[in-house]
Chains A and B, each alone.
Chain A
Amino acid sequence: MLERLKLAWVVARKDLLLEFRTRTAILSAVVFTALVLTVFNFGRDPTAVPTIDLAPSILWVTFTFAAMLALNRAFALELENHALEGLLVSPLSRTSLYWGKLIANLLFVTIVEAVGLPLFVLFFDVPVWHVLLPLVGVIALATVGFVAVGTLFSAMVIRTRFAELMLPVLVLPFLILPVAWAVQVTARLLAGRPLAEVAWWLRLLGAYDIVFVTLSTLLFPHTVDE
């Protein structure tokens, strides 16, 4: 187990180093996040719908689509010089490979969210300070689930034509539930409702994470083996 985690980190570290060198995906995702929030900010009519009602959905739509950009690059990196073939014939277990990609993707998406959240607060002027900790918690819980699913599908579509188009089409149906739950929790937290009121959704998000991280780990070898 420890050995698998160590090798997963070797893969994740390599992905992070490549991203640090090229800065293509992370920059695109951060710029995308800023642009979407800007468009929503200037495109809404605060007199028609109160900001507090609209803000949670905007936050999660932005995070979900920004994450797609990061997820698309996960296995695209391995197409260069057919590195994926090299990984698959090496003694690296499929589990370590999946976990490595999952760790790298989680870090990418976390960076995008870390940039997006302050912009969201700035543009929509929503009071988050009193609920910052639970809000970060729900973002973390939802992110683990959808990145786990996204990483699996990213491997599945990488050898297909139009992989970048296929990924959102395949992944989004699986994200409806966690994103809907995350929106519900975020809306209630921002409205100042007690934490106990959102505990049920938090449990659902936790269960989603456990189920989909496990399922994705088990299914991953079937997506990459010829």
Chain B
Amino acid sequence: MLSAEGLTHAFGPVRALDGISFRLEAGHTLAVFGPNGAGKTTLLRVLAGQLRPQRGRAEVRGGRAAIGWISHQSFLYGHLTVIENLRFWASLYGVKREARDRRAAELLTRLGLAERADQPVAALSRGLAQRATVARALMHDPAVLLLDEPFTGLDLAAAAELRRLLGELVGGGRVAVIATHNVDEGLELATDIAFQHRGRFVQLAPRAGRDRTQVADAYRKAVGVSGA
């Protein structure tokens, strides 16, 4: 469903990706943990098709239409309301009007934004804007979710709801890649775990029942940092 083969990309002398390969089948979530500057965002940009790798290839079944991407940027227009933004982005993904309105109502309710639907995005707090970003990325019911620090700015309740929502989506046969520097955030959903450091996957393995402490220890050993 999602595969990467030998992805390599450098920004000047800095290797952001260095021969990354993996394959994800339906129902799997790969959590990519790594410190700042490890190349996690570059990996997601390549998978999303935003950046062409200098070497290697990434393949997503269903192409660009199958991807739901939550990046560091919201892609939302501040002067449009939340609902106008959702309708616009869903239209680009070919979602029909009826399905679009139904999906928007469902997501806004689940993400606690129903009462903010007619507010301009510019008037939302950072946390609420992040919820709108999540809704924007899920409007077309994507088969592949690329999530770059998706919990940033969310309060505990919204983060828990997002975890539940993502869990349901992945359980329904989708795949997800979550990139984060925070082991606590990504672990709950992960079926597979990768530690990325200086552009390389220094470890890639199924989670296989490992708990938070075991993963955090393995992360520290692999990456050589504290504070996981």
Contact = CB atoms under 8 A, between A and B. Distances in A.
B104 to A, nearest CB: 15
B50 A89 contact: yes
B79 A21 contact: yes
Given A10-B91, A85-B71, A91 B77 contact: no
Contacts of A17: 80, 84
Contacts of B120: 21
Q: Chain B binding site: helix, strand, loop or mixed by DSSP?
A: loop
Contact of B92 (A10, A77, A85, A226): A10
Contacts of B88: 10, 14
A46 interface: no
A82 interface: yes
B220 to A, nearest CB: 33
Given A89-B64, A91-B93, 9 more contacts: A10-B88, A18-B77, A18-B80, A21-B120, A81-B77, A81-B78, A85-B73, A89-B49, A90-B93
Nearest to A91: B65
Interface in B94-117: 94
Interface residues of B, number: 27
A93 to B, nearest CB: 10
Given A90-B93, A91-B92, A83 B75 contact: yes
Contacts of B89: 86, 90
B74 interface: yes
Nearest to A85: B50
Contact of B73 (A81, A88, A90): A81
Contacts of A22: 79
A81 B80 contact: no
Among B65, B74, B77, B80, find the residue whose CB has the most chain A CB atoms closer than 10 A.
B77
A45 interface: no
A10 B94 CA distance: 11
Among B50, B75, B76, find the residue whose CB has the most chain A CB atoms closer than 10 A.
B75
A172 to B, nearest CB: 30
Contacts of A85: 50, 71, 73, 75
B52 A226 contact: yes
Contacts of A83: 75-77
Contacts of A91: 63-65, 92-94
Interface in A1-40: 7, 10, 14, 17-18, 21-22
Given A86-B89, A87-B92, A89-B49, A21 B74 contact: no
Contacts of B76: 81, 83
Contacts of B48: 89
A10 B93 CA distance: 11
14 contacts: A7-B92, A21-B80, A80-B78, A81-B75, A81-B76, A82-B73, A83-B75, A86-B89, A89-B49, A89-B67, A91-B63, A91-B64, A91-B65, A91-B94
A92 interface: yes
Interface string B41-74: 0000000111110000000000111010101011
Nearest to B84: A17
A14 B75 CA distance: 13
A7 B94 CA distance: 9
A81 B120 CA distance: 14
